[in-house]
Structure 1
Amino acid sequence: MSLRNKATLIGRTGKEVEVVKFENGQLAKVSLATTDHYTNANGEKIEETQWHNLVFHGKLSEIAEKYVKKGDEIAVEGKIVYKSYDDKDGVKRYITEIRVDELVMVGGNKPA
């Protein structure tokens, strides 16, 4: 993996893993929430959540499919990938994904 394009994230999955199968393999997708906490200039405590689109390829997609569940806390490392496509109305849409190279299961489901 290139050190010039590297993202490291720790967060909780927002949904179940979605698997897309092809003739020669599969990929897996899941959203990941990362949350920062800080105090603003007025002394108010702020919680800010960002959502990230994760994509797993090859053997890693099989591992994600089998072990990653909604609400799991995971750590990932990967490459930031920018894509664009035209939607059904011909409007250009943009998406940012993290192409995951490493996955660590940090903890189980979020406590109830």
Structure 2
Amino acid sequence: MLNRVILMGRLTADPEHKQTPNGTSVTSFSIAVDRNYAPKDGGSRQTDFINIVAWRQTADFICRYFQKGRMIAIEGSIQTRNYEDKNGNKRTAFEVLAEQVYFADSKSDSAPRSQAPASFPVPKPESFAEPTKGTGFSIGDFEAIEDDDSDLPF
């Protein structure tokens, strides 16, 4: 049997970090995914809103780095669960269990929500000098290799 899902969409709200009574991290959220086709009449594309659940380190990662509007790529599987609503009607919920998540938008937006972007010192050009004698090699130790047009075994 095969149950694999790959989705890319935008979070519709900030994911909320929760923990089970035994301390396991979990988050649930939804993403908006545009359909691949547009109506012939020139109208806008339809959007599907898909419920996602993530557990443990995946949940921690999502809650730390993603917020409403961020593009996310998710790999996982579909799961169903049955429940009874407040009126006593039996319902079935479909959701994607996120196993792997990836950034799908600009790298500049990937700073953790709870922290300011890190700044790193820029090295000065003189710090890129030739290695010294104590490193075991120098730039002069390398030479060009001429191609002899022999067949490689791979």
TM tier, smaller: 0.7 to 0.9
The equivalent of 2:4 in structure 1 is: 6
User: Unpaired segments of 5 or more residues in structure 1?
Assistant: none
Q: Which one of 88, 91, 100 corresponds to residue 90 of structure 1?
A: 88
Which of structures 1 and 2 has the bigger CA Rg? 2
The equivalent of 2:146 in structure 1 is: none
Q: Deviation of residue 44 (structure 1)?
A: 3.0
CA-based RMSD? 1.7
SS in 2 for 1:77: strand
Q: Deviations over 1:23-72 (max 9, x none)?
A: 231111110010024233xx434411001011111111100111110000
Q: Deviation of residue 87 (structure 1)?
A: 1.4
Q: Deviation of residue 83 (structure 1)?
A: 1.3
Tell whether 2:102 aligns with 1:101: no
Supply the AA of the counterpart residue of 1:98.
V
CA distance in 2, matches of 1:19, 1:85: 23
CA distance in 2, matches of 1:44, 1:67: 36
Q: TM-score, normalised by structure 1?
A: 0.85
Tell whether 2:38 aligns with 1:38: yes
Supply the AA of the counterpart residue of 1:54.
I
Number of residues of Structure 1 aligned to a counterpart in Structure 2: 105
CA distance in 1, matches of 2:39, 2:26: 39
User: Unpaired segments of 5 or more residues in structure 2?
Assistant: 110-154
- Percent identity between matched residues is 24
**Greater percentage in strand:** 1
CA distance in 2, matches of 1:5, 1:51: 19
CA distance in 2, matches of 1:85, 1:18: 22
**Structure with higher RCO (Cα < 8 A, 6+ apart):** 1
CA distance in 2, matches of 1:9, 1:57: 17
